Amino acid sequence: MPMQIGLVERYGYPAEEHYVTTEDGYNLVIHRMSGNPLSISQKKKTVVFFLGGLFCSSDIWVLVGPNKDLAFLLADEGYDVWLGNYRGNTYCRSHVKLSPQNKEFWQFSHHEIGTRDLPAMIDYILNYTNQETMHSVSISMGGTVLFILLSMKPEYNAKIKLGICFAPIAIWKEVSPAMKYLSNMTPSLKTMMPTIFSNYPAGSSVQLVDHYFQNIIAKIGLVERYGYPAEEHYVITKDHYILVIHRIPGSPLSKDRQRKGVIFLQHGLLASSDTWVLFGPGKNLAFLLADEGYDIWLGNYRGNTYCRSHIKLSPQDRNFWRFGYHEVGIRDLPAMIDYVLNYTKQKTLHYIGHSMGTTVLFTLLSTRPEYNAKIKLGICLAPVGVPKEMPAPFEFLRNLYDIPKLFKDFLDFNEINEIASLSSTTITIGRTLCTDKAITQPICVAIMFLLFGADPVQLNTTAFPHMLSHFPAGASVQLIYQYYQNFVKKKFQSYDHGHLENVIQYGQTTPIIYNLSKVTVPLAMYYTANDVLAPKVNVLETYKYLPNVILLEEISHKLFNHIDFLIAIDAKTLVYDRIIELFQKFDNN
């Protein structure tokens, strides 16, 4: 006899076991209490669907028995009680094709439970009971997956009459304190331990737990810990990616200042909005601009730490990762700009981009020139556009049997579609190998200098573990390879899919060449002579094609490198103060 059935029927309550298969092949078990000895003569009431939390199963709702557990109490009231289970727990370790011994079986998080398990169970129950709606009761992660479902598939709002959420988990403002030691538990709870731990924990995937960990280290905490207000906003692109934008709407230092305009900051490759606020007030550009009275918005693009959601696709689907910076430029960036302008009721905004943040700006304004009218001034830090020369790391690897192409073929063959994603593993490695006390820290420094340019004077090595807790934040293989294609062809163009696929994607056999003469926004370009990824010669080549550059400035510190725009010890005096001064002059004029 299945454990859950036994936990119910031992008390004389009828129990049933039902089976549901999700659209991606997981076999789920749902338990039902269709009545009780006390409500035989009662008129049958509505369906109530229960969903447990992390590491739980349906057992959690019936452990203690009648008159104590909510499931029994509601059955006593005549409700039709259904108890759900999600993939990977005690009852749901089955799949149409995969075994729990396969790594692929466990490649899911609460995203997949919310978008696949939960709707499959809801639809089954409503069809089986011939009902149109139900009540929902959830605890902890049960609330998380409910919020995911209703936000991503809003049509399910009509199927739930009332949702009861115990200890709901969604947006993390601060990390919860540690649980009390078992010795502090009440005597009655101690006597229940054998029963509880016979049915809990019920298992989960590592990825699911890691997903929660990523949410815990989210952006809001990086801002509000310093007394600055912070907001999180959600935007859905035309091709259904769900993006997260962070906002700093004010500053403790600018309460009495006249409010100024909107400034939108877009990060670079393998980064997230975190890179603008890593070191706090008085140091990071986002805080400094908020102190000046600007309304600060920090964008994120598809596939990074904050933007791993889609209306239909999962990050486990190859199609989720079929994008380059072209799609970020023509879809993500305009969706975010339009949202910010609509929300703030402004007609224009200032734009600051770093590295790929400039690439996608050039892409947007050259392909959709109507957006030039929505940007007052564009600040381009380490701009990447027209490639006259291949950056040194790529050139070195290409000369070794074209390693970038071989690596891309290897990733494609093994169906690896993303690269350098942030996870608890990468964070732990950074905090272990790159600390001041680690003998391996010089290797971390050497890798950084190899990738971005050597600048020991401006590098705070003590901050390494903190930086590596937020970077790299992930990207698609296609996005990175689009840059490599550009370097090889020495053209600023969209991703080359091959003749046939190019016709499908672009309506022509060749990639789209971005026409920078259509970029009419006033631009200020800041670059450095020691930038490995955005060499001076490439910046000057891009500058030649842009018709409205009002400032072209080389950073005075000769060793200043690509990532110093974000992390340099003296970034404020070398770059940020000059940017603030430029905004003030521009706005006054």
d(CA 252, CA 225): 12
SS (H, E, C) 89-157: CCCCCEECCCCCCCHHHHCCCHHHHHHHHHHHHHHHHHHHHCCCCEEEEEECHHHHHHHHHHHHCHHHH
In 3D space, the residue among 436, 431, 438, 460 whose CA is nearest the CA of residue 448 turns out to be 460
For 289-368, list the strands marked E by DSSP: 295-299, 309-310, 349-354
**Alpha carbon distance 527, 381 (integer Å):** 6
Phi, psi at residue 412, to the nearest 5°?
Answer: -60, -45
SS3 content of the chain, % helix, strand, coil (to 5): 45, 15, 40
Q: Give the chain's radius of gyration (CA, Å).
A: 27
Active site residues: 355, 562
> Which one-letter DSSP state was computed for residue 529?
T
Pick from 204, 25, 14, 9: which is nearest to 99 by CA?
25
Query: How many whole angstroms from its chain centre is CA 439?
Result: 33
Backbone torsions φ then ψ of 264, nearest 5 degrees: -110, 125
- List, in sequence order, every beta strand (DSSP E) within 4-43: 16-21, 26-33
Q: 287 with 294: CB under 8 angstroms? A: no
Q: Residue 101: phi, psi to the nearest 5? A: -80, -15
Residue 229 has a CB neighbour count (10 Å cut-off) of 14
Task: List all residues 6 or more positions away from 548 whose beta carbon is below 8 Å from its beta carbon.
Answer: 519, 520, 521, 522, 523
Closest listed residue to residue 230, CA positions, set 276, 189, 184, 166: 276
The Cα 567–Cα 373 span in angstroms is: 32
Range list of H helices, 21-140: 70-76, 110-112, 118-129
